[in-house]
Amino acid sequence: MTKRNTQQRRRTIVERLNHTGEVSVEQLAAEFSTSEVTIRKDLAALEKDGLLLRRHGGAIPLPQEIVVAPTSSPSANQQAIASKAAELICDHNRIIIDCGSTTLGLIPELNHKRGLVVMTNSLQLANAIHELEHEPTLLMTGGTWDPHSESFQGQMAEQVLRSYNFDQLFIGADGIDLERGTTTFNELTGLSKVMAEVSQQVIVMLEADKIQRRIPNLELPWESIDILVTDSRLPATAAAAIAAQGVQLLLVDTVSN
Q: Given pLDDT bands bounded at 50, 70 and 90, which one contains residue 72?
A: low
Residue 70 confidence (pLDDT) above 50: no
Q: What percent of the chain has a predicted confidence (pLDDT) above 90?
A: 60
Average pLDDT (61-81) is: 69
Residue 226 confidence (pLDDT) above 60: yes
Q: What is the domain class of 2-64 according to CATH?
A: mainly alpha
CB 253 within 8 A of CB 87: no
> What is the per-residue pLDDT for 13?
92
The full set of domain ranges for the chain reads 2-64, 76-252
Q: Given pLDDT bands bounded at 50, 70 and 90, which one contains residue 74?
A: confident
Distance CA 62, CA 21 (A): 10
Mean pLDDT score of the chain = 88
pLDDT digits (tens, 9 = 90+) for 140-176: 998 888 877 788 989 999 999 999 999 999 999 989 9
> What is the per-residue pLDDT for 78?
93
Q: What is the pTM of this model?
A: 0.72
Q: What is the dihedral of CA 198, 203, 208, 214, to 10 degrees?
A: 10
Residue 71 confidence (pLDDT) above 80: no
Pick the more confident residue, 215 or 187: 215
Nearest to 115 by CA among 138, 91, 131, 79: 91
> What is the per-residue pLDDT for 156?
92
pLDDT digits (tens, 9 = 90+) for 92-132: 999 999 999 899 999 999 998 999 999 999 988 998 998 88
**CATH 3.40.50.720 applies to domain 76-252:** no
- Start-to-end CA distance of the chain, whole Å, equals 37
pLDDT digits (tens, 9 = 90+) for 25-54: 999 999 999 999 999 999 988 887 778 888
